[in-house]
Amino acid sequence: MVEKIELTSNSELSEMPFPLNSESIDDIIHQNDIDLNLISIRELQSLVNKLADKFSVDFLRFEFGIPGLKSNPIGPSEEIKMLTENEMLPSTYPPFDGIPRLKNATVEFARQFLDIHVSPNNCIPTVGAMHGCFISLAISGRRKEVSDTILFIDPGFPVNKLQTQFLGLQNMSIDLWDYRGKSLGDKLEELFSTGKIGGLLWSSPNNPTWTCLTETELEMIGKLLTKHDVIGIEDSAYLGMDFRYDYSKPGQSPFQPTIAKFTENYFIIISSSKIFSYAGQRISVTISSESLMTRKYPYLKKYFNSKTILSAFIHGGIYPTTAGVPQTTQHALAAFFESACTGEFDFLDSLKVYKVRAKKAKEIFLKNGFTLAYPDDRGKPLGDGFYFTIQRGDLTSGELLYYLLQFGLAGIPLDITGSKKKGVRICISLVHQNQYPELDNRVKALNKFLTNLNK
């Protein structure tokens, strides 16, 4: 364990364990053929592990977008209960379209927290949100031969583009910083009118900027999705986690803004990973409208053996990929939804610790010469939540990451998120409150180091 840096007016960098030796870092980077501007999240994790072993330093890990909280016992207890009460459950295949309990619980959760009404037939469990996104992207890009391009509102989760690559689909992106309000609508109209766009994917709150689309923007997007027959894929991984508003009261306004209020052309993906800290159990649901799910596209049959979207999703998507979702995890997610809807479990209150961590971490970086790469949300202050973005002068993403590594810090380069800006994403989930004095010391030392470099 590296000693904590005690910065005083007489502190000198030479007396501290940082910066870590650059030649040793360079050797490890070159041995593994790494480009820090484009390093993937998992590659960065591996690199940080190697550096931590090499220097015997505990890094402060901001690179992984994973829950930093224990899951509420509601989920695990429900899984144990189901296995105990039904000894045949492990030997029984799950229904491809999900167990009735989860489908019905999803309907109620959508009604109570999104203020939308959906059919249980159109609520399909998947093995995590990645699985739901994979099938949604595949269907969106294979309905019509000409419409094989997925448009991303970036910056975003890098692996979704890898999914389109795997599927043989084309992808395009626009940076949310460049297009908000009417300009976003104008740009989407321009791109949709080509006929090439099959699907539009975004997250709100956004990973990594934590900006959020407004209801006015969603209404505009919804109208364009309907007009051009494009499917909107709303990644609701961080549902309700814009803590500037209180979305925690079931059945009460305000509700989480959603595209489903403004079009029938949507897939909404609700994951258990962040909102219920249940990432390890790989369970989510994809919700859609009756209008979309019953629609037929002859070109779909080439890839899914069905012309109808619902059948394509279940029998052409779920069946050949995972053949269903484990039933115990479905019961767990159903239990989470049910307890949230009754008010027994205020899941958003349990997540507010992320707001506290983000606010403190931002303060530390901002008082030490860093700025936010995405500094506001349409002129309004950003919310504090799971992520934020930092930059430093004219440093590239890779250069900033390199200096962070020298001081035992890690975050992903913005380049891999599709951002046009240079900087690093900071995820606060794994850095706990008792580590913030150490973070403060390291960032102070890094600021002094970078300031001296420019002299």
pLDDT for the residue 439 = 97
Q: Is the pLDDT of residue 151 over 90?
A: yes
Residues 242, 236: contact at Cβ < 8 Å?
no
- Strand-pair partners of 149: 170, 197
Of the candidate CATH numbers 3.40.640.10, 1.10.1040.10, 1.20.58.1180, 3.40.50.300, the domain formed by 74-342 belongs to: 3.40.640.10
Tokens 């403004």: give the residue: 262
pTM of the predicted model, to two decimals?
0.94
Q: What is the pLDDT of residues 394-436, one digit of tens each?
A: 999 999 999 999 999 999 999 999 999 999 999 999 999 899 9
pLDDT band, very low/low/confident/very high, at 455 (cuts 50, 70, 90): low
Nearest to 101 by CA among 112, 109, 113, 111: 109
13-63+350-453 has which fold? Aspartate Aminotransferase, domain 1 (3.90.1150)
Say if residue 43 is exposed, middle or buried (CB neighbours under 10 Å; 0-12, 13-18, 19+).
middle
Q: Identify whether 125 is preceded by a cis peptide bond (ω within 30 of 0).
A: no
Q: What percent of the chain has pLDDT over 90?
A: 95
- Contact 365/390 with Cβ under 8 angstroms? yes
Residue 3 — very low, low, confident or very high, per pLDDT cuts 50/70/90?
very low
250 pLDDT tier (thresholds 50, 70, 90): very high
Q: What percent of the chain has pLDDT over 70?
A: 96
pLDDT at 173: 97
221 φ/ψ angles, rounded to the nearest 5 degrees: -65, -45
Contact, 177 vs 421, CB < 8 A?
yes
Residue spans of the domains in the chain: they are: 13-63+350-453, 74-342
- The pLDDT of residue 17 is 84
Mean pLDDT confidence for 116-140: 98
* Helix (H) or strand (E) segment spanning residue 112: helix 100-113
Mean pLDDT score across all residues of the chain = 94
**Spatial CA neighbour of 214 closest among 254, 238, 265, 180:** 180
Q: 3-state DSSP call for residue 101?
A: helix
Long-range CB contacts (within 8 A, 24+) of 116-121: 116/258, 116/260, 116/261, 118/260, 118/287, 118/288, 118/289, 118/290, 119/290, 121/97, 121/290, 121/293, 121/310
Amino acid residing at 432: H
Indicate if the pLDDT at residue 296 is higher than 80: yes
The secondary structure element, H or E, covering residue 149 is: strand 149-154
As a whole number, mean pLDDT of residues 62-89 equals 95
pLDDT band, residue 366 (cuts 50/70/90): very high
Determine how β-strand 409-410 pairs with β-strand 231-235: unpaired
Q: What is the pLDDT of residue 309?
A: 98
pLDDT at 16: 62
- What percent of the chain is helix, strand and coil (3-state, nearest 5)? 45, 15, 40
Query: Tell me, what's the pLDDT at 10?
Result: 34
Encoded amino acid at 352, one letter: K
